[in-house]
Structure 1
Amino acid sequence: MSTETPLQLAIFDCDGTLVDSQHSIIKAMDLTCETYGLDKLTRDSIRRVVGLPLEIAMTNLFEGRTQPICNEMAECYRTHFRSMRLNDEVEEPLFPGTVEALNALEADGWLLGVATGKAMRGLIPTLETHNLEKRFVTLQTACRAMGKPHPEMVEKALDETGVNAQNAIVIGDTTYDIHMASNANVKSIGVAWGYHEPDELMDAGAVCVVHEYSELNQAIKKAMEN
């Protein structure tokens, strides 16, 4: 009988989990509202939809507008965000302890992946800014799979890496991440420094919520033992 340790995969959300992109997201949304002659949205309302596919986020934010208009506004947002990036105006700092947590997981033999509501053309520059692009063996984005909370991004990550669902875990800051994991029959851990509240993450089905990255490695070990 083989005693080889099975492959294990830790799938990270990006915005609100790896990087704090809220200020740039809010700025791009403010510019979108300005383009359409609308009042600015509240910061909390924008934070609530981070992680959803952009067209769905727009539908949630601008209730009563038709889907074609929301799709148009989503493209307007993308245009503003691309312009901000070209002008070096995008702020997406890593949360404290991110690199150390990734190092610890890799040292324990974990494969690393990302599942994000970003498009690939947005994710790659974010990772490159922090020299993380080679750390992740699978990158899943909403432009290549169904968006959260649909399980397709997790399922594709498992297929790409050959990891079984019981040997994977999702780490995220929103209920969309937690529901995505649950829908794929994968465990999840919430992080308290993102855009949804810890009690919401627990209610959604997270095994636990960590309050700083230094807690993550031990939390994952405990989660996988149960």
Structure 2
Amino acid sequence: MRLVVFDVDGTLVDSQGLILAAMDSALAGAGLAPMPRAKVLSIVGLSLPVAVAQLLPGAPEGVQQLVTEGYKSAYTAARAAQAAPLYDGVADCLDRLAMRDDLLLAVATGKSRRGLDAVIAAHGWQGRFISLQTADGHPSKPHPSMLQAAMADAGVDAGDALMIGDTSFDMQMARNAGMAGFGVAWGYHPRAELMQAGAARIFDDYASLTLALEEWSA
């Protein structure tokens, strides 16, 4: 058996609109000015408290906590109004991979379990993944804990596992876990950062990624 682990935000779902709006709301609620789009998107993938601390390194802990809680509330409200859309080709990719009897699928995300459950419910992915690893029970990416847990759930070693993600944090996490990482170019970190972080390959669309995954698992 082989295991493919997917990141969520920026890899499976295009959530940047929700993320940017929620962060703007959270910063405003703490009396802070909005931040540039690129700066906010640069921390996507990290666990929320770690991401806020990186955005506001000089802010008192109380201010960071206020922004963190404000973001949670704003994102939850926005998500309830409209789910983040899938990137083109995601549904076909997951359907094709799920038909293989030699391949298992998992998720490793900086989202909370509640947030991941909402994404799974919105897109009808119940039962699609053998392992669901979130920020609730692990250190933030790029610590390898989420991938180690996913491999344990699947009963595979690092040589038979692969991480798919859009950020340098995903590629670093894969490297820290001893597995290969495939980067996707449609997410939140530029191609150069993915390469520098150790991506084995980088893909521009789901059609080419799907073919590569089928070849890798053959």
Shorter-chain TM band: over 0.9
Equivalent position SS for 2:67 = helix
Q: Is residue 18–residue 79 contact of structure 2 (8 Å, CA) maintained in 1?
A: no
Q: What is the correspondence of 1:26-175 to structure 2 with a 5 Å cutoff?
A: 26-86=20-80, 88=81, 90-108=82-100, 109-175=102-168
Aligned residues of 1:23 and 1:91 also touching (Cα < 8 A): no
Q: Give 1:82 shift.
A: 2.0
Q: 1:187 to 1:167 in 2, by over 3 A?
A: same
TM-score, scaled relative to structure 1 = 0.91
Q: Is the CA contact 2:162–2:181 (under 8 Å) kept in the aligned structure 1?
A: yes
Question: How many Å apart are 1:110 and its aligned residue?
Answer: 1.3
Deviation, structure 1 residue 223 = 5.5
**TM-score, normalized by length of structure 2?**
0.94
Cα distance, 1:224 vs. partner? 6.6
Amino acid paired to 1:9? L
Distance, in Å, in 2 between the alignment partners of 1:224 and 1:85 is: 34
Secondary structure of the 1:32 match is helix
Partner of 2:191: 198
How far apart in 1 are the matches of 2:190 and 2:54? 19
* 8 Å Cα contact 1:52-1:117 kept in structure 2: yes
Q: Secondary structure at the residue paired with 1:34?
A: helix
Aligned pairs, how many? 217
- Structure 1 residue 210: Cα displacement: 0.6
Cα distance between partner residues in 2 of 1:79 and 1:24:
12
Contact 2:22 2:75 in 1 (8 A): yes
Structure 1 unaligned spans of 5+: 1-6
d(CA) in 2 for partners of 1:221 and 1:98?
14
Match of 1:189?
A: 182
Report sequence identity in percent.
39
SS at match of 1:46: helix
Given that 1:16 and 1:173 are in contact with CA atoms closer than 8 Å, whether structure 2 keeps it comes out as yes
**Root mean square deviation of aligned Cα:** 1.6
Q: Which runs of 5+ in 2 are unaligned?
A: none
Q: Do the aligned partners of residues 123 and 57 (structure 1) sit closer, same or farther apart at CA in structure 2, a change above 3 Å counting?
A: same
Partner Cα separation in structure 1 for residue 126 and residue 192 of structure 2: 32
